[in-house]
Amino acid sequence: MPTQEEFKLDGLIARRENIFSRTQRCYDVAKDVERNPNSSSKLEAFSIRYDTFSNVVQEFHSVVEEIVILKQKLKQDEAPNYDLLNTFDDLYSTIEYLAAKCLSSSTPDPPESTDPDRRLRMPKLELVKFSGNDLSVWPLFYENFKYLVHRKTEFAKVKKLQYLLGSLTGKALVTCNAFEATPNNYDSIWKLLEDTYNDKKYLAGLYLDRILNFRSSPSR
């Protein structure tokens, strides 16, 4: 007869599969919106799913961690399914990117001011993308985003946040899940990215290694 811990393990596995299935469905709806950006019904369906999607990353990783610990306790020497974790993170990152891209574009612009100095248009920016995997990209992303978006006092924080989330992928985007994606949290999210990736001592060492490797290259 299964023990209480084995029952708990079965429940955790079912919960993990449920979260993954919900994420997959949200991803499918998001991609459907991307293919049909003018469909209000598809956009509404995505918006409804996305509104109930907060904290899903923390929940999924927490469940996976509980499963691994419980399996070790039950002496089931099964390695964590890192492919599943990577797939989940890819799905989630794409959902966040499409939410920033599609849901923000569906919001009508406010009436244009009659004051010429206030008629500001958000530009189409070609921003550097940052995933968090290659830290050598961080300085380029950081200076690019800071100059084109972050320091622009005429940009509302809701737009800055949309630009920021649309420029991040992978681990860097997941890092932002420490805060709810709201305009009021934009400064906190930006500071979190700075604290996480703007390690000048590490970056200096990284560049020094590359210079030394370049100089020692046989072709040189």
Q: Is 8 exposed, middle or buried (0-12, 13-18, 19+ CB in 10 A)?
A: middle
Burial pattern 172-181, b for ≥16 Cβ within 10 A else e, equals bbbbbbeeeb
Q: In this predicted model, what pLDDT tens digit does every residue of 168-209 receive, in sequence order? A: 988 888 888 888 888 889 999 999 999 988 876 665 655 555
Closest by alpha carbon to 161, among 199, 193, 196, 200? 193
Full DSSP string of 18-86: HHHHHHHHHHHHHHHHHH-TT-HHHHHHHHHHHHT-TTHHHHHHHHHHHHHHHHHHTT------HHHHH
Where exactly are the structural domains of the chain? 4-105, 123-215
Q: In this predicted model, what pLDDT tens digit does every residue of 91-141 receive, in sequence order? A: 888 888 888 877 765 544 444 444 443 444 444 557 888 988 887 788 878
Place of tokens 């009021």: 184
Q: Which region holds residue 75: left if phi is over 0, alpha if psi is between -120 and 50, else beta?
A: left
| Total number of residues shown for the chain | 220
pLDDT mean over 149-154: 87
Q: In this predicted model, what pLDDT tens digit does every residue of 11-63 receive, in sequence order? A: 888 988 888 888 888 889 888 888 888 888 888 888 877 776 666 777 887 88
